[in-house]
């Protein structure tokens, strides 16, 4: 059996490998901003997603983890008892004061605080949180307050998101040339030469040589771009290269492999402000704002009140930054059912007159304004 026959047999397997390489599973509380060609983004939550169908697909990992840092301790929902939706009030969380934290470790993407585990969306974020909690443990309450303020403003810093995005786009310029050339060879030229009569007129080895050269150009550009974007993270760079060498079809996903960890540190709402359309962002921030509004005022015996107050402050600043009027996002949620007169401030379900308490959440209903 000659080489072209072997290629004929393995080519369909390579295409299947390419498709499998473009499928990701997103865990609960982890989020994904996805764009098919790098312009319009959509927000995806947990489940299976096909993300790498086109060479220019971009994906940014983010999260909405049940993990809150406060001045006195950490609220977290351990993975063993994940509730159906994001926990909101303090009784839904496990609470550990900084004094009670005996050990905090980051094991790949898992953050371990005493015997509690939180599965983070990125190994970098797990390490960052480990270092931050270690630091908070050694500080006074006033210093912790200041440190948490700085942390909250850093993770919602939209200017910094824009800077990182700019660095990313300028770093992938060469990949945007070589990856489409490689895709052209792989999806068009190679099958034509292997399976059609055109193959008679072309020498397969002459075709494979430029394809091989393009593949190595993609590897080099990936290495250089990763260094520009992520700096000293050599281990991650080597892992990506090994993956692309062991499975050469994954080099067709070189652009989105680079994008995944770009915004590991940032709050998903701030990313939404930068990446989503104004209409989609307004819907997203509106829900978060009336939750913050309700939980910062109504749940006054809750240890998370200050957390929600701070959150509200940053949400308002993002809304202003995006040029959205506060009247469009504050107040009650959008009515799904016109006959509803009241709504649940936690889950947004509408209720007709006569109902006082939400049957799912057990909290008092609010009047639609």
Sign of CA dihedral 81, 118, 150, 133: positive
- Structure-token pair, residue 98: 């900084």
360 binds Zn ion (CB under 5 A): yes
Query: Which position among 347, 355, 366, 368 is part of the footprint of Zn ion (CB under 5 A)?
Result: 347
234-236-242 Cα angle (round to 5)? 100
What distance in Å separates the CA atoms of residue 340 and residue 63, rounded to the nearest whole number?
32
- Per CB under 5 A, the segment of 108-116, 161-169, 248-256, 355-363 that binds Zn ion is 355-363
Binding mask 126-155 for Zn ion (x = CB under 5 A): ------------------------------
358 binds Zn ion (CB under 5 A): yes
For Zn ion, the binding residues in 305-344 under the rule CB under 5 A are 344
Closest distance of CB 154 from Zn ion, Å: 33
Query: Which position among 270, 271, 289, 346 is part of the footprint of Zn ion (CB under 5 A)?
Result: 346
SS (H, E, C) 67-117: EEECCCEEEECCHHHCCCCCCCCHHHCEEEECCCCCCEEEECCEEEECCEE
Name, in order, each residue with C-beta under 8 angstroms of 260's C-beta and a sequence gap of 6 or more: 59, 60, 61
361 binds Zn ion (CB under 5 A): yes
- 22 or 345: whose CB is closer to Zn ion? 345
- Per CB under 5 A, the segment of 219-227, 237-245, 289-297, 354-362 that binds Zn ion is 354-362
113 binds Zn ion (CB under 5 A): no
365 binds Zn ion (CB under 5 A): no
Closest distance of CB 342 from Zn ion, Å: 11
- Structure-token pair, residue 222: 């990936």
- 18 or 308: whose CB is closer to Zn ion? 308
What distance in Å separates the CA atoms of residue 366 and residue 294, rounded to the nearest whole number?
10
Instruction: Please name which of 89, 138, 150, 93 lies closest in space to residue 118, comparing C-alpha atoms.
Output: 93
36 binds Zn ion (CB under 5 A): no
Q: Are 15 and 53 in contact (CB under 8 A)?
A: no
- Per CB under 5 A, the segment of 102-110, 239-247, 272-280, 361-369 that binds Zn ion is 361-369
Binding residues (CB under 5 A) for Zn ion: these are 344, 346-347, 358, 360-361
């Amino acid at each position: 059996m000659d080489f072209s026959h072997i290629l004929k047999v393995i080519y369909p397997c390579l295409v299947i490998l390419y498709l499998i390489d473009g499928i990701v599973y997103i865990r609960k509380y982890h989020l994904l901003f996805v764009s098919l060609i790098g312009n319009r983004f959509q927000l995806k939550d947990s489940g299976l997603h096909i993300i790498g169908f086109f060479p220019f697909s971009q994906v940014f990992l983010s999260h909405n983890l049940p993990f809150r840092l406060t001045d006195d301790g950490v609220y977290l929902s351990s993975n063993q008892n994940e509730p159906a939706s994001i926990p909101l009030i303090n009784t839904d969380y496990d609470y550990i004061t900084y004094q009670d934290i005996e050990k905090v470790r980051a094991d790949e993407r898992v953050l371990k605080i005493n015997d509690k585990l939180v599965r983070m969306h990125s190994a970098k974020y797990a390490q960052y949180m480990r270092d931050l909690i270690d630091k908070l443990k050694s500080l006074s309450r006033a210093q912790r307050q200041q440190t948490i303020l700085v942390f909250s403003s850093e993770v919602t810093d939209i200017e910094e998101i824009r800077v990182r995005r700019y660095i990313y786009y300028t770093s992938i310029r060469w990949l945007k040339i070589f990856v489409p050339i490689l895709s052209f060879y792989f999806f068009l030229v190679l099958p034509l030469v292997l399976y059609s009569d055109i193959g008679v007129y072309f020498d397969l080895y002459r075709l494979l040589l430029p394809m091989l050269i393009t593949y190595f150009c993609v590897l080099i550009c990936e290495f250089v771009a990763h260094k520009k974007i992520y700096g000293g993270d050599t281990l991650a760079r080597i892992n990506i290269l090994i993956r692309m060498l062991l499975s050469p079809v994954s080099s067709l996903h070189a652009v989105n492999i680079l994008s995944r960890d770009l915004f590991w540190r940032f709050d998903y709402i701030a990313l939404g402000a930068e990446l989503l359309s104004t209409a989609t962002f307004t819907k997203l921030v509106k829900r978060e704002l009336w939750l913050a509004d309700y939980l910062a005022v109504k749940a006054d015996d809750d240890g998370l009140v200050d957390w929600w107050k701070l959150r509200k402050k940053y949400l308002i600043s993002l809304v202003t930054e995006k040029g959205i009027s506060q009247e469009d996002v504050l107040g009650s949620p959008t009515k799904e059912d016109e006959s509803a007169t009241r709504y649940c401030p936690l889950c947004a379900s509408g209720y007709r007159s006569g109902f006082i308490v939400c049957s799912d959440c057990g909290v008092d209903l609010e009047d639609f304004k």
